[in-house]
Amino acid sequence: MTSVFGKLETTLRMIKFEHTLFALPFAFLGAVLAAEGLPSWRQIIFITLAMVGARSAAMTFNRIVDRDVDAKNPRTANREIPSGKLSLGFAWAFFFISVAVFLFSAYSLNWLTFVLSPVALISVLGYSYAKRFTALAHVLLGLALAISPTAAWIAVRGSIDSEVPLLLSLFVLMWTAGFDILYACQDYEFDKKNGLHSIPARFGIRNSLWISRLFHAQAFIVLILLYFVAELGWLALLGVIAVAVLMTYQHTLVKPNDLSRMNAAFFTTNAFVSVILFLTFGGAVLLAQN
DSSP string for residues in 237-290: HHHHHHHHHHHHHHHHS-BTTB-TTHHIIIIIHHHHHHHHHHHHHHHHHHHHT-
Q: Which pLDDT does position 216 carry in this prediction?
A: 96
Q: How far is CA 10 from the centre of its chain?
A: 21
Total-model pTM: 0.89
Would you say 262 and 186 are in contact if contact means Cβ atoms under 8 Å apart? Answer: yes
Q: Which pLDDT does position 279 carry in this prediction?
A: 96
Longest alpha-carbon distance in the chain = 59
* pLDDT tens by residue, the chain, 290 residues: 446 666 666 766 666 655 666 678 999 999 999 999 999 999 999 999 999 999 889 888 988 988 888 888 888 888 888 888 888 888 899 999 999 999 999 999 999 999 999 999 999 888 888 888 888 889 998 999 999 999 999 999 999 999 999 999 999 999 999 988 988 888 888 888 888 889 999 999 999 999 999 999 999 999 999 999 999 999 999 999 999 999 998 888 878 787 777 666 666 677 789 899 999 999 999 998 76
Give the N- to C-terminal CA distance of the chain in Å, as an integer: 50
268 contacts: CB under 8 Å, gap ≥ 6:
none
Q: Which pLDDT does position 2 carry in this prediction?
A: 46
Closest listed residue to residue 13, CA positions, set 66, 68, 85, 82: 85
Q: Which pLDDT does position 51 carry in this prediction?
A: 92
- Superfamily grouping for domain 2-13+20-288: UbiA prenyltransferase (1.10.357.140)
Would you say 201 and 191 are in contact if contact means Cβ atoms under 8 Å apart? Answer: yes
